[in-house]
Amino acid sequence: MLGRGLRVLGHAIRTEPRLFTIGTIGSSLFGLLIIANSYVVGWVIGDIVVPAFAEHRVSTGQLALVAAVFLGISGLRVASIFGRRLGAGFMQFRMQARYRGAVTRRYLSLPPAWHQRHATGTLLSNANSDVEAAWGPIAPLPFAVGTIVMLLGALISLFATDWVLALVGATLFPGLFGLNLVYSRRMSPRQIRVQQTRAKVSAVAHESFDGALVVKTMGREADESRRFGVFVDELRDSLIAVGRLRGLFDPLMDSLPSLGTLAILLLGAWRLRTGAVEVADVVSVAFLFTVLAFPVRAIGWVVAELPRSVAGWDRVQAVLGAEGDLAYGEGTLSGTGPAELRFDRVSYRYAGGPEVLRNVSFTVPAGRVVALVGATGSGKSTIASLAVRLVDPESGTISLDGVKLPDLALSALAGAAAVVPQIPFVFDDTVRGNIALDRPGVDEDAVRAALSLAQADRFVAGLPDGLDTAVGERGTSLSGGQRQRLTLARALAGEPRLLVLDDATSAVDPRVEAAILGALRGADAGASILVVAYRRATIALADEVVYLERGRVVATGTHAGLMASHAGYRDLVTAYEKAERQ
């Protein structure tokens, strides 16, 4: 643990050598000044105070010198504190920022399949508290390094003073180290437990607040509080366990240097008698032990933080080293206008689950509208995700204008194909930002045209700041249908060559839908469209219907043809009329 922890720290030092050097120099200076201070005190007592008291007089020059020395040391110490604290702190903040950037970069490049396997709460704590934990020991690190320098300096000066008194230091300092080690070893499992429990508390809070509406409508606030309470109590207990250990070690740690001072007094008296040392020496050494007490703790802080640091580092590394990226090719699509989408014997399963698509084959010819029809859970959304390569099939190929999707560059693919997901996702941004997404070529005119095509222009005009109205986190200040229209406009604004609508027009008037499809189909600058729909009107607009049952394409053809030939299809799309007749 210690070795791994130090390696993690070594990595930080190599990354930020400049700040580390500043911090360490500051801290070493600080430590040496502490030693110097003790000797100055000894010198003042022995060489100035004792003679002055004996002779009952003192010169102003001497007093001025003493004052100047103390103030000088104090000034240097202030400088050293700035160096140590700012060096260490800035280094820590930089490392945190650097790794937060790296982790989030990874999040953005890992594919949706990976995201599905990891809870939002966990990913949040990876980027936040795990990064924080990994670089936790940096703050006291230069201080600790400085302390080691100081202890070495202290030992040397002790031996220079008197070997007997030095022996006290030689026993005491390793003792302090040892105690620190024992402490950190005992502490680390407790700290890890605290960290884990914290994550659980945060996950429950996240989820519970996410589902607040359901909690409230069902009146389960008390039960949710109980559920939360279990983890809160667990956290309380593990924090108390940490506190107890700290309560045991802290006073021990405090009293060790005091023991040293007492030993010096006793041994000093003996050495004085033998004439080996002078009063000033005893005073200096005793003073040294008193002021050592605090800095020595810094080593303990670093050591105590190491287990947490390693745990955090491992979790961060798990993200940084995660595999399964979708590799993108270099390919681009030639030509303009609608692109053809082709599924060829595509099968798919979600991680560890049963096969949800089997041997799915169909084509959306350039400029045509194909409707994807199937019962709830039959695999329509899965096909939509595959069509824009949010996931890759288990087997089979999907191609756009004859180019296999994996051969296309991400920018080429994203520029050519747009999907409107079944559940609209709205960014915490303005209406304009949500639609344009800073894509080149999506200017003010394109935004306005898309809004009016999606029939969102009227409600947007009614918003307090129009296009520049902020819509809130996930678009909460909008109604469900308004969010859907916004995401529809987003897709339209990019003038895609393939448009995939996953039940994305349920809240849109059918006339509007007809207008959208009409505006896109056929025209030179239009798009091929794959639309998931139940409405007969939408389906009737389609040139072809692909009918899906439990992940298989069971029939393809025109609406009229399928109505005539396929009973399952007929039952599905005429359900309303049937219900009415009954």
Partner 1 sequence: MSDQGTLATVRRGLALSPELRTGLGGTIVLAVLQMAGRVAIPIAVQQGIDHGIRAAGGPHLGVVARIVAFTLGALLISTLCGYLMTRRLFTVSETALAGLRARTFRHLHDLSMLHQQSERRGSTVSRVTSDVDQISQFLQTGGVQLLLASGQLLVSAAVMFVYSWQLALVVLVAFGPAVGVVRLFQKRLRAVYQASRERTGVMLGAIAESVVGATVIRAYGVAGRTQARLDTSIERLRLAQQDALRTSVTSFSSGEIGAGLALAGVVVVGTLLGVDGELTVGQLTAFLFLVTLFIQPVQIATDMLNEAQNAVAGWRRILDVLDVEPDVADPDDRGVPLPEGPLSVRFADVSFRYPGGPIVLSGVDLSLAARKKYAVVGETGSGKSTFAKLLTRLMDPVGGEVSLSGTPLTSVRFSSLRSRVVMVPQDGFLFDATIAENIRFAEPTLTDARLRAAFTELGLADWLAGLAEGLETPVGERGEALSVGERQLVALVRAYVADPDLLVLDEATSAVDPATETRLQHALDLVTRGRTTVAIAHRLSTAEAADEVIVVDAGRVVQRGPHAVLVAEEGSIYAKLYASWLEQTRG
- Residues at the interface with ligand ATP (CB under 6 A): 116, 350, 353, 356, 374, 376-382, 422, 476-482, 507
x/- track of binding to partner 1 for residues 398-437 (CB under 8 A): ------------xx-xxx--xx-xxx-x-xx--------x
Alpha-helix runs per DSSP H in 407-558: 410-416, 431-436, 444-453, 457-462, 480-493, 510-520, 536-541
Residue 345 and residue 371 in contact, taking contact as beta carbons nearer than 8 Å: no
Cα–Cα distance measured from residue 504 to residue 426, given in angstroms and rounded to the nearest whole number = 14
The window from 11-19, 167-175, 396-404, 535-543 that contacts partner 1 (CB under 8 A) reads 535-543
x/- track of binding to Mg ion for residues 421-440 (CB under 5 A): -x------------------
Residues facing residue 349 across a β-bridge:
355
Interaction partner, residue 286 (partner 1, Mg ion, ligand ATP, none; CB < 5-8 Å by kind): partner 1
On the CB side of 536, how many CA atoms lie within 13 Å of its CA?
12
* Per rule CB under 8 A, count of chain residues that contact partner 1: 180
The window from 46-54, 329-337, 359-367, 474-482 that contacts Mg ion (CB under 5 A) reads 474-482
Residue 497 beta carbon to partner 1: minimum distance, rounded to whole angstroms: 14
* H or E element, residue 166: helix 163-210
- Strand 498-502 vs strand 395-400: parallel, antiparallel, or unpaired? unpaired
Site residues (CB under 5 A) for Mg ion, limited to 183-202: none
Residue 495 beta carbon to partner 1: minimum distance, rounded to whole angstroms: 13
> What is the distance in angstroms between the CA of the first residue and the CA of the last residue of the chain?
73
Amino acid (one-letter) located at 274: T
566 binds partner 1 (CB under 8 A): no
Taking CB under 5 A as the criterion, the residue among 480, 510, 518, 522 binding Mg ion is 480
14 binds partner 1 (CB under 8 A): no
Q: What is the 3-state secondary structure (H, E, C) of 419-441?
A: EECCCCCCCCCEHHHHHHCCCCC
Interaction partner, residue 485 (ligand ATP, Mg ion, partner 1, none; CB < 5-8 Å by kind): partner 1
Taking CB under 8 A as the criterion, the residue among 169, 300, 307, 374 binding partner 1 is 374
Taking CB under 8 A as the criterion, the residue among 20, 143, 183, 287 binding partner 1 is 287
CB atoms within 10 A of CB 526: 20
Residue 356 beta carbon to ligand ATP: minimum distance, rounded to whole angstroms: 4
247 binds partner 1 (CB under 8 A): yes
Residue 115 beta carbon to ligand ATP: minimum distance, rounded to whole angstroms: 10
Residue 129 beta carbon to partner 1: minimum distance, rounded to whole angstroms: 8
Residue 348 and residue 355 in contact, taking contact as beta carbons nearer than 8 Å: yes
Q: Which is nearer to partner 1, 9 or 199 (CB)?
A: 199
220 binds partner 1 (CB under 8 A): yes
For the chain, how many helices (H) and strands (E)? 23, 10
Q: Which is nearer to Mg ion, 195 or 381 (CB)?
A: 381
What are the structure tokens assigned to 388, written together?
């824009």
Q: Which is nearer to partner 1, 7 or 105 (CB)?
A: 105
Cα–Cα distance measured from residue 106 to residue 126, given in angstroms and rounded to the nearest whole number = 11
On the CB side of 223, how many CA atoms lie within 13 Å of its CA?
7
179 binds partner 1 (CB under 8 A): no
Q: Which is nearer to partner 1, 90 or 159 (CB)?
A: 90
Residue 520 beta carbon to Mg ion: minimum distance, rounded to whole angstroms: 22
560 binds partner 1 (CB under 8 A): no
Q: What is the 3-state secondary structure (H, E, C) of 358-370?
A: EEEEEEECCCCEE
Q: Which burial class, exposed, middle or buried, applies to 461 when counting CB atoms under 10 A from its CB (0-12, 13-18, 19+)?
A: exposed
Q: Which is nearer to ligand ATP, 72 or 480 (CB)?
A: 480
Q: Which is nearer to ligand ATP, 3 or 353 (CB)?
A: 353
Q: Which is nearer to Mg ion, 395 or 479 (CB)?
A: 479
Rg (CA), the chain: 36
Q: Which is nearer to partner 1, 246 or 404 (CB)?
A: 246
Residue nearest to Mg ion (CB): 381
Contacts of 366 (CB under 8 A, 6+ apart): 337, 338, 339, 340, 401, 528
Interaction partner, residue 511 (ligand ATP, partner 1, Mg ion, none; CB < 5-8 Å by kind): partner 1
Residues facing residue 418 across a β-bridge:
499
Interface residues with Mg ion (CB under 5 A) are 381, 422, 479-480
